[in-house]
């Protein structure tokens, strides 16, 4: 066996550059189709691209303790401080232990009402016949949901306001990341971008720390069942609790990690359903049969099997977290190859999810493929929209429950149609975003006759 993974030959250098220049998704797809599932870059970096499910499992699960997050992900710490998403080592393990109970099934149930409420309020303002940017709509809905889950009924927190200032912070960060493609001055250099970013971060700190302080002073106040209270009350085995700064970092992390990804899963689901009216009709049919016009609740989720398949299939084709990466903390062997400490590995659900070895007709939107036992038959990590191993998305069940409830309410009320203005240009950033949003027309959902109960 070769000692190192394949890399594009020099004579292909310009071709590969040209394809990456056209788009990073096209570039990654090309190198894997052309040079195999484990590719080394020609650049003088210890940087590897991995699209083999077994090797991804080695990195994310079997040898997870040999890795930390990669350098680019760690840049996010400018926004989320030492929050779960970027934390590493012993400190990460402790925080994960402290946060985990907030995502237990019983706790999740308490968020269902907020999820349904947010989409019902939004849908009540939508009009039949109008063309809407559903990406914007879904961002607003999921922002309200995560704000309510975190800060509950706490008026001092003013969930909407909190959402806006954190989004502002993220926008500033996005601009810094954009600049980073060319030059990345350290955070302490007072460039205009860094100054605006710091001002934004201070605003977030002020608001969140004020809320935390109020909660600590009045622990039996009105908002005891939200995520923030759980973070404040969480105790480790030795009885220790989180500092205010750590609670702040985790709250901002949950805000960020929790709302945009779910909004994207919903946006792409609506887009794909609008492109495939026959699939949309099947969802509507299922909703009519299971709910008969009622508002969906937690007890219905199990029965919404086709709706579930639609979400799976949308996240296969458009994984919101389209790329994950890790850096080796020690020398390590992956896929039989040997790598030095510091080597970085880039794993791309976008490429893996479209591999014809795992999925027949991989580019086609076919929710039916998930109705059988496909999920059980697939190799582990042939499909991994939520990552895997110890750092698997802590919010995966929260997200699936939220996405199903929101999709169900939206599709109960409206039919979504493509229009001549509908287009999708992808912007692979921290997440896989639609560059110009997604415009769809809302049509009336003709009420189906309720299915008579079985005799």
Q: Over the range 127-150, which residues count as b (16 or more CB within 10 Å of their CB) and which as e?
A: eeeeebbbbebbbbbbbbbbbbbb
Is the Cα dihedral 390, 394, 398, 404 positive or negative? negative
Q: How far is the CB of 93 from ligand HEM (least distance, A)?
A: 9
By the 10 Å C-beta count (0-12 exposed, 13-18 middle, 19+ buried), 372 is classed as exposed
Cβ closest to ligand HEM, residue 8 vs residue 385 = 385
The yes or no reply on residue 327 touching ligand HEM (CB under 6 A) is no
Query: How many CA within 13 A on the CB side of residue 377?
Result: 9
Task: Indicate the DSSP class of residue 241.
Answer: -
Residues 170, 203: contact at Cβ < 8 Å? no
The yes or no reply on residue 398 touching ligand HEM (CB under 6 A) is yes
State how far the Cα of 306 lies from the Cα of 286, in Å rounded to an integer: 7
Find the part of the chain contacting ligand HEM (CB under 6 A) among 108-116, 236-244, 275-283, 319-327: 319-327
Q: How far is the CB of 85 from ligand HEM (least distance, A)?
A: 4
The yes or no reply on residue 251 touching ligand HEM (CB under 6 A) is no
Residue from 66, 316, 391, 445 touching ligand HEM (CB under 6 A): that is 391
Structure tokens at 351: 């490429």
Cβ closest to ligand HEM, residue 385 vs residue 434 = 385
State how far the Cα of 200 lies from the Cα of 78, in Å rounded to an integer: 11
The yes or no reply on residue 29 touching ligand HEM (CB under 6 A) is no
Mode of pairing for the β-strands spanning 439-444 and 414-417: antiparallel
Closest-by-Cβ residue to ligand HEM is 395
Cβ closest to ligand HEM, residue 395 vs residue 437 = 395
Residues 82, 249: contact at Cβ < 8 Å? yes
Cβ closest to ligand HEM, residue 406 vs residue 442 = 406
Cβ closest to ligand HEM, residue 19 vs residue 145 = 145
Nearest to 100 by CA among 429, 394, 412: 394
The yes or no reply on residue 81 touching ligand HEM (CB under 6 A) is no
By the 10 Å C-beta count (0-12 exposed, 13-18 middle, 19+ buried), 348 is classed as buried
Q: Which of residues 107-146 bind ligand HEM (CB under 6 A)?
A: 146
Residue from 76, 84, 159, 401 touching ligand HEM (CB under 6 A): that is 84
Q: How far is the CB of 182 from ligand HEM (least distance, A)?
A: 25
Cβ closest to ligand HEM, residue 262 vs residue 412 = 262
Residue from 75, 201, 321, 411 touching ligand HEM (CB under 6 A): that is 321
The yes or no reply on residue 96 touching ligand HEM (CB under 6 A) is yes
The yes or no reply on residue 254 touching ligand HEM (CB under 6 A) is yes
Positions touching ligand HEM (CB under 6 A) are 84-85, 96, 146, 253-254, 257-258, 261-262, 265, 320-321, 324, 385-387, 391, 393-395, 398-399
């Amino acid at each position: 066996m070769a000692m190192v993974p394949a890399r594009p030959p020099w004579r292909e250098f310009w071709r590969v550059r040209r394809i990456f220049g056209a788009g990073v998704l096209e570039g990654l797809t090309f190198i894997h189709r052309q040079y195999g599932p484990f590719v080394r870059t020609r650049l003088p970096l210890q940087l590897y691209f991995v699209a083999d499910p077994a090797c991804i499992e080695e990195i994310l699960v079997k040898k997870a303790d040999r890795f930390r997050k990669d350098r680019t992900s760690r840049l996010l710490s400018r926004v989320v401080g030492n929050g779960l998403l970027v934390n590493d080592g012993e400190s990460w393990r402790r925080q994960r232990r402290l946060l985990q109970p907030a995502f237990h099934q019983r706790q999740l149930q308490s968020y269902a009402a907020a999820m349904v409420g947010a989409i019902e309020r939004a849908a009540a303002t939508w009009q039949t016949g109008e063309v809407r940017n559903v990406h914007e709509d879904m961002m607003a809905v999921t922002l309200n949901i995560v704000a309510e889950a975190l800060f509950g009924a706490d008026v001092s927190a003013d969930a909407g306001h909190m959402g806006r200032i954190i989004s502002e912070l993220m926008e500033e960060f996005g601009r810094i990341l954009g600049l980073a493609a060319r030059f990345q001055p350290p955070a302490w250099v007072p460039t205009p971008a860094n100054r605006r970013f710091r001002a934004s971060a201070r605003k977030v700190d002020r608001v969140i720390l004020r809320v935390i302080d109020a909660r600590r002073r009045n622990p039996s106040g009105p908002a005891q069942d939200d995520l923030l209270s759980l973070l404040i009350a969480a105790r480790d085995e030795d009885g220790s609790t989180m500092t205010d700064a750590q609670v702040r970092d985790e709250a901002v992390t949950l805000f960020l990690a929790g709302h945009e990804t779910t909004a994207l899963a919903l946006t792409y689901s609506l887009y794909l359903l609008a492109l495939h009216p026959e699939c949309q009709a099947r969802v509507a049919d299922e909703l009519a049969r299971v709910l008969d016009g009622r508002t969906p609740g937690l007890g219905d989720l199990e029965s919404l099997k086709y709706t579930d398949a639609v979400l799976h299939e949308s996240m296969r084709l458009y994984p919101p977290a389209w790329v994950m990466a890790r850096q080796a903390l020690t020398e390590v062997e992956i896929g039989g190859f040997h790598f030095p400490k510091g080597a970085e590995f880039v794993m791309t659900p976008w490429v893996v999810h479209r591999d014809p070895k795992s999925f027949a007709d991989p580019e086609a939107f076919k929710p039916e493929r998930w109705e059988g036992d496909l999920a059980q038959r697939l190799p582990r990590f042939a499909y991994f929209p939520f990552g895997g191993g110890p750092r698997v998305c802590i919010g995966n069940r929260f997200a699936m429950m939220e996405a199903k409830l929101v999709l169900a309410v939206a599709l109960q009320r409206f039919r979504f149609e493509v229009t001549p203005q509908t287009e999708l240009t992808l912007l692979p950033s921290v997440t896989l975003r639609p560059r110009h949003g997604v415009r769809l027309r809302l049509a009336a959902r003709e009420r189906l006759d309720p299915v008579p109960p079985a005799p």
